[in-house]
Amino acid sequence: MFLKNAWYVAAWDNELVGDRLLARRLLGTNLVFYRGENGRAVVMEDRCCHRHAPLSHGQREGNCLRCMYHGLLFDASGRCVEVPGQERISDKLRVRNFPLVERDHLLWIWMGDPALADPATIPDTHWHDTPGWQAERGGYIHYESNVNLIVDNLLDFSHLAFVHNKSIGTRKQGGVKPEVDFLDESVQVRFTTLEGAPPPFARQLSKLPDVVDRFNYYVWNIRGNYFAQDSVIGPVGEGYGTESPLAMKLHTFIALTPEDADSTHYFWSTSHNDFASDIPDVTRQLTVQVAGAFEEDRDIIEAQQKSISVSPGEPMIAIAADGTLLRVRRMLDGMLAAEQPQGAGKPAVVTITPVSVQPTVVH
Amino acid sequence: MFLKNAWYVAAWDNELVGDRLLARRLLGTNLVFYRGENGRAVVMEDRCCHRHAPLSHGQREGNCLRCMYHGLLFDASGRCVEVPGQERISDKLRVRNFPLVERDHLLWIWMGDPALADPATIPDTHWHDTPGWQAERGGYIHYESNVNLIVDNLLDFSHLAFVHNKSIGTRKQGGVKPEVDFLDESVQVRFTTLEGAPPPFARQLSKLPDVVDRFNYYVWNIRGNYFAQDSVIGPVGEGYGTESPLAMKLHTFIALTPEDADSTHYFWSTSHNDFASDIPDVTRQLTVQVAGAFEEDRDIIEAQQKSISVSPGEPMIAIAADGTLLRVRRMLDGMLAAEQPQGAGKPAVVTITPVSVQPTVVH
Amino acid sequence: MFLKNAWYVAAWDNELVGDRLLARRLLGTNLVFYRGENGRAVVMEDRCCHRHAPLSHGQREGNCLRCMYHGLLFDASGRCVEVPGQERISDKLRVRNFPLVERDHLLWIWMGDPALADPATIPDTHWHDTPGWQAERGGYIHYESNVNLIVDNLLDFSHLAFVHNKSIGTRKQGGVKPEVDFLDESVQVRFTTLEGAPPPFARQLSKLPDVVDRFNYYVWNIRGNYFAQDSVIGPVGEGYGTESPLAMKLHTFIALTPEDADSTHYFWSTSHNDFASDIPDVTRQLTVQVAGAFEEDRDIIEAQQKSISVSPGEPMIAIAADGTLLRVRRMLDGMLAAEQPQGAGKPAVVTITPVSVQPTVVH
């Protein structure tokens, strides 16, 4: 069961070029994406309403999409506008279409009640295009696991010390207790590691000293599954707001969109400040390092999923660090229950408050 | 559920050479085929009645088949005639055997009530061996789809304009309305395209002019799933009976035998007249072209099957062109119901009337 | 359903070297094996009790095993002894551990009631280390079949004449009737072939004459699934006890441990006397020959399993040679029933009586 009334990331903008048809399954539904001749991105169910041939085997014609089995032509709203050899076209010949918004290089889809789809609630991802910040766009990982196992991972940074001890984590992080604030439909986490060694990737790319302070401040937004993190690795004692030219400041955005019950799309980007302007391809190098760390997560999470699938229903014994993820799971359960027909009211507005605007710096 | 009281194509004759054992699953049953030393083709269940080892792992001995697990020997009727180390052989030691008839290079099997298996009802496929006609035999495609999706395809030629617009179809065919006659257990279709461009494959192989008349006359036989088509591409105005030496005349035979609910064996041949006797390997070239077109069908039909399997039970919205295939589906449903024990009468004799003997030529 | 109160072979000793973690599924449960720094082999469930990450993705630390997701550390008894960042450790944080005994180069596991795990009942496999006998250890085959189909095969040597007629069997063996004695939880079989041709592998490796006597004496032990065979191929008339230097004497040990309902681990070794001390690598050659014969079994048994799986519930018709295996299956059913909670008493002590100590020699 997936939360439907939410904006989910569906694709990167550059996945739709020319007359390409992109087939992708989201929330258990096969979809086809294309960009009309007018430049507007369109999404509809990837199944002709006539005989169920996938429309992604069809071809774009102007702003329309033609099924290449029997030639039915659909406009961008999903309405059939041509049946070869037939004059009258039934109003029933219609493919389901979904609200789709393009913003900051991402395509956002709303698969719930279209009347509730308010583009103003799409989260802020301006880092993809802001002076002073660099990023490679297009980060994508396909996960063979339920989305919630990935959420758990993002909500408990104690794994940094073990899963990532050769990339972005250090053993010292194993015992760190984060500060956590629960909001209506999101949670803010401040994970601070003072006077520790820089993680391996920072050692390699930056000129930071051998002892640093590290701040991982992030928001997890339950409705739509987004993670937005401001992280700072800087000289000891200067705090989260350090102005040191050596300080490595990163903004990481992750959006998880369920493909099905046991598989997930993982879209991501890491934007960085000019901490190393003398390294010519630092953005590429940083992206490779972060991607490598995310693969470490994927390895253990997919293994965890297999372990759960082979023995479903076995109990999990909680430890203290699980408090956050267990509470978030309960919040999600409440939101899912509220979305069901009998109890469905209007969903709360989805906002994502970047932690970077919070004045609090914690030592 | 499959119609059992029917002759189905099981194999091409040259699939049984020497002492080869051919394992093939038909109508949801594993079968083993072999040719006895006496030259007679035999088929039985591919499962030893003793411990269920597949007999296709055995070996032929004379006209018999020996299971190579514990050595039981079965004669061509499926009766066990030897149990190593045992004198008396129970009459229960018997593998199910089926009527099998070899004709015109095809092997025909009857998997229903053997008492109803009348070889006189096997359809005419003499084109495989007739002076003035050339054909490559052995055409075979394995389909990952339910048989009825392929039947639908053969019953609605409006797809020629879209699926085959680069091979055997033209866009003009998109709006053509066929003439259709329903018989007891079959349907005759006349699909005529006057004054159109020749399809790509005809352009390549023949000396036909840039504007032609095209006739696709075929019978679909529900009992046993055979398609027999006479098609003519000839100069404008000369009609189906054209004697022009340029005219391309083809006889295409297709037999669909379900493997299982979601997979199908597709046997086929295309025989042709001497429209291009100066091209040395025209039969090969034509076969390659037709095979390519059949692969276009397979691509879209297997995609359609996946689409249906992932969302079973979703409604299909009919268009005018679906009339024939929907009526044929209802005829099949009636035949299936009649075959069930409570209402089982004797099945109608299966005949396939080639459209070519019909005097009617339609312009 | 598997018999739980039994010692099963879990691995060869040399599968645990250095700090390697061995993941293996036995009786439907994922397990992880490792050897502590103290040299002791340990097995526990391959699933962290916290969030179900597989412990085989973790790392050994001393005699303990650390989960490399969130860093929990477990001692050799499965008790959690460290949770990073947490002082008090709940007693519930515990991974299931199993009795594991290392003997004669094999690791034996007991997955039933630990109170009943008596190492004195582990069968004798001293051949792996006895003067005058040579063996390659480490024989292993993974079977895609239910364990009982392999048991059936070992209990009916009439298949030697057909499955192995090019390796270790001869056609003459097809009709041989074995002598069979049923004990409490085991069966003794004496399969004797007098004055026959030596099997192909003996022809190749030994200097035996063209006519030989052959004795296959074995015990099948139901509790734990072990097969222990003494076989002799010697000059005619000298009997099982022949002292001829040409006689080929073999001790073959096979242990079958279910992986799951439809897959099985097959551990084996063949020890031999000095019948061919002049061939430098005779042990290797013999092992290759026997392994080849076991692959012949696997081919037919996996095919049989597929045949059964595709048509479950179809009847099997017994022949005279099936008497032994059918009775053993009934004995197993009785043992399984006795192990169930309501009727569970103490299981009989497991013994394996090598046939070689029996004085009876049968001609």
Question: Which residues in B lie closer than 8 A to residue A51 (C-beta atoms)?
Answer: 152, 304, 316, 322
Q: Across the interface, do B93 and C307 touch by the CB < 8 Å criterion?
A: no
Q: Which of A268, A272, A251, A230 is nearest to A133 (CA)?
A: A272
Mean pLDDT by 10 residues, chain A (363 residues): 96 96 98 98 98 98 97 98 93 97 97 97 88 91 98 89 82 79 96 89 88 95 96 94 93 97 97 85 92 95 97 93 94 95 50 34 29
Alpha-carbon separation of residue A357 from A214, A216, B95, C280 (angstroms): 18, 14, 79, 79
pLDDT-based confidence at residue B280 (cuts at 50, 70, 90) = confident
- Contacting residues for C332 by C-beta, under 8 A, at least 6 apart: C3, C148, C222
Chain A: residue whose CA lies nearest to B152: A51
How far apart are alpha carbons C17 and C19 in whole angstroms?
6
Q: Could you tell me which residues are beta bridge partners of residue C134? A: C272
Question: Which residues in A lie closer than 8 A to residue C54 (C-beta atoms)?
Answer: 303-304, 306-307
Counting one residue from chain B and one from chain C, the pairs whose CB atoms sit within 8 A come to: 78
Q: Which of A354, A8, A304 is nearest to A153 (CA)?
A: A304
The pLDDT mean for chain B works out to: 90
Same fold, A7-116 and A127-357: no
Averaged pLDDT, B227-242? 95
In Å, how far is C354's CA from the nearest CA of chain B? 27
Chain B: residue whose CA lies nearest to C156: B70
How far apart are alpha carbons A129 and C22 in whole angstroms?
48
How far apart are alpha carbons C119 and C6 in whole angstroms?
10
A contact set with C (CB within 8 A): 152, 156, 158-159, 161-163, 174-177, 299-300, 303-304, 306-308, 310-311, 314, 316-322
Q: Report the pLDDT value the prediction gives residue A130, as an integer from 0 to 100.
A: 86
How far apart are alpha carbons C15 and A177 in whole angstroms?
40
Least confident of A70-84, B334-348, C71-85: B334-348
Q: Report the pLDDT value the prediction gives residue C112, as an integer from 0 to 100.
A: 97
Domain C131-357: CATH superfamily, name plus number: Naphthalene 1,2-dioxygenase Alpha Subunit; Chain A, domain 1 (3.90.380.10)
In Å, how far is C130's CA from the nearest CA of chain A? 42
Alpha carbon of residue A360 to chain centroid:
26
The predicted-structure confidence for C220-239, as pLDDT tens digits, reads as follows: 999 999 999 999 999 999 99
How far apart are alpha carbons C48 and C43 in whole angstroms?
13
Least confident of A80-89, A162-171, B262-271, B301-310: A162-171
Chain C: residue whose CA lies nearest to B68: C162
The predicted-structure confidence for C118-148, as pLDDT tens digits, reads as follows: 999 999 888 888 888 999 999 999 999 999 9
The predicted-structure confidence for A268-283, as pLDDT tens digits, reads as follows: 999 999 887 788 899 9
Residue linked to tokens 């996945």: A15
Tell which wins on pLDDT, C348 or C104. Answer: C104
In Å, how far is C261's CA from the nearest CA of chain B? 18
The predicted-structure confidence for B51-78, as pLDDT tens digits, reads as follows: 999 999 999 999 999 999 999 999 999 9
Q: Across the interface, do A70 and B300 touch by the CB < 8 Å criterion?
A: no
Tell which wins on pLDDT, A105 or B347. Answer: A105
Can you give chain A as a three-state secondary structure string?
Answer: CCCCCCEEEEEEHHHCCCCCCEEEEECCEEEEEEECCCCCEEEEECCCCCCCCCHHHCEEECCEEECCCCCCEECCCCEEEEECCECCCCCCCECCECCEEEECCEEEEECCCHHHCCHHHCCCCHHHHCCCCEECCCEEEEECCCHHHHHHHHHCHHHHHHHCCCCCCCHHHHHCCCEEEECCCEEEEEEEEEEECCCHHHHHHCCCCCCEEEEEEEEEECCCCEEEEEEEEEECCCCCCCCCCCCEEEEEEEEEEEEECCEEEEEEEEEECCCCCCCCCHHHHHHHHHHHHHHHHHHHHHHHHHHHHHCCCCCCCCCHHHHHHHHHHHHHHHHHHHHCHHHCCCCCCCCCCCHHHCCCCCC
For residue C358, pLDDT over 70 is answered with no
Q: Report the pLDDT value the prediction gives residue C126, as an integer from 0 to 100.
A: 87
Q: Report the pLDDT value the prediction gives residue B1, as an integer from 0 to 100.
A: 84
Task: Report CA torsion sign: C155, C158, C160, C162.
Answer: negative
Q: Report the pLDDT value the prediction gives residue C139, as an integer from 0 to 100.
A: 96
Q: Residue ranges per domain, chain B? A: 7-116, 123-357
The predicted-structure confidence for B194-213, as pLDDT tens digits, reads as follows: 998 898 888 888 889 999 99
Q: Report the pLDDT value the prediction gives residue A201, as an integer from 0 to 100.
A: 85
Count CB atoms within 10 A of the CB of residue A196. 18
Averaged pLDDT, B157-167? 84
Report angle CA B278, B282, B286 to the nearest 5 degrees: 145
Q: Across the interface, do C300 and B46 touch by the CB < 8 Å criterion?
A: no
Q: Report the pLDDT value the prediction gives residue A318, as an integer from 0 to 100.
A: 95
Q: Report the pLDDT value the prediction gives residue A142, as an integer from 0 to 100.
A: 98
Q: Report the pLDDT value the prediction gives residue B130, as an integer from 0 to 100.
A: 86
Listing DSSP states for C98-167 in one string gives: --EEEETTEEEEE-S-GGG--GGGSPP-GGGG-TT-EE---EEEEESS-HHHHHHHHH-GGGHHHHTTTT
Q: What pairing do the DSSP bridges indicate for beta strands B106-110 and B100-103? A: antiparallel
In Å, how far is B78's CA from the nearest CA of chain A? 43
Q: Report the pLDDT value the prediction gives residue B228, as an integer from 0 to 100.
A: 96
Residue C290's H or E segment, with its range, is helix C282-310
Alpha-carbon dihedral angle through residues A206, A210, A215, A216, given to the nearest 10 degrees: 70
Q: Across the interface, do B158 and A90 touch by the CB < 8 Å criterion?
A: no
**Is the separation of the CB atoms in C169 and C161 below 8 Å?**
yes
For residue C353, pLDDT over 60 is answered with no
Report angle CA A104, A142, A188 to the nearest 5 degrees: 55
Q: Report the pLDDT value the prediction gives residue B269, as an integer from 0 to 100.
A: 96
Q: Report the pLDDT value the prediction gives residue B342, as an integer from 0 to 100.
A: 66
The predicted-structure confidence for C174-221, as pLDDT tens digits, reads as follows: 677 889 999 999 999 998 999 988 988 888 888 899 999 999 999 999
Domain A127-357, architecture per CATH: Alpha-Beta Complex (3.90)
Count CB atoms within 10 A of the CB of residue B235. 15
Q: Across the interface, do A300 and C53 touch by the CB < 8 Å criterion?
A: yes
pLDDT-based confidence at residue C89 (cuts at 50, 70, 90) = very high
Averaged pLDDT, C62-77? 97
Q: What is the ipTM of this complex?
A: 0.89
How far apart are alpha carbons B21 and C301 in whole angstroms?
19
Helix (H, G, I), strand (E, B) or coil at C240: coil
CB burial of B127-158 (b: ≥16 within 10 Å; e: otherwise) equals: bbeeeebbbbbebebebebbbbbbbbbbbbbb
Most confident of A174-178, B39-43, C357-361: B39-43
Task: Report CA torsion sign: A210, A215, A221, A226.
Answer: negative
Question: What CATH number matches the domain at B123-357, 3.30.70.260, 3.60.10.10, 2.60.40.10, 3.90.380.10?
Answer: 3.90.380.10
Averaged pLDDT, B220-232? 96
Nearest to B68 among C162, C318, C319 (CB): C162
Q: What is the CATH number of domain C7-116?
A: 2.102.10.10
For residue B294, pLDDT over 90 is answered with yes
